[in-house]
Structure 1
Amino acid sequence: MDKQLLTFLVCPVTKAPLQIDNEKQELISTAAKLAYPVRDGIPVMLEDEARALTQDEFEAWHAKKSS
């Protein structure tokens, strides 16, 4: 996924910035505690398609964001 595109995308629920998880092909919203899938290089920015982050995932991403 294009890193420049990521600077323009925000969480559709909270309007907060997103982080990319290249390994899982997801965009992470720590504000909404959601992970949006990226399919064939295209972000699927629908709340219904997102999965909830586990508490461990949330804490790990929140720690990365804070550092």
Structure 2
Amino acid sequence: MSELPPDSAERRMLEALVCPQTHNTLAYDAERQELVSKAARLAFPIRDGIPIMLIDEARTLAE
């Protein structure tokens, strides 16, 4: 999440989200606009600034 200002509301919101499958923390991929769950091997899209935290909408990460 290094591309967001350290004290921004957006950063705090993204840091509060967890993977809906594993409940682990997520990594922010600014280039792809995704929140990545390494444990579940899923990437959740961020569309128009809104994280889509639905497993059915997530992209499966390649091994």
Matching residue within 44, 52, 56 for 2:60: 52
Residue 26 of structure 1 is matched in structure 2 by 34
> In percent, how many aligned pairs have the same letter?
55
Gaps of 5+ in 1: 56-67
Aligned length: 55
Distance 2:59 2:14 in 1: 19
Q: What's the Cα RMSD here?
A: 1.1
Question: What's the TM-score once normalised by structure 2's chain length?
Answer: 0.83
Question: What's the TM-score once normalised by structure 1's chain length?
Answer: 0.78
Distance 1:23 1:36 in 2: 13
Structure 1 stretches of at least 4 aligned residues deviating more than 4 Å after TM superposition: none
CA shift, 1:6, in A, is 1.5
Distance 1:3 1:36 in 2: 16
SS at match of 2:46: strand
Instruction: Give the number of the structure whose residues are more often helix, by fraction.
Output: 1
Gaps of 5+ in 2: 5-9
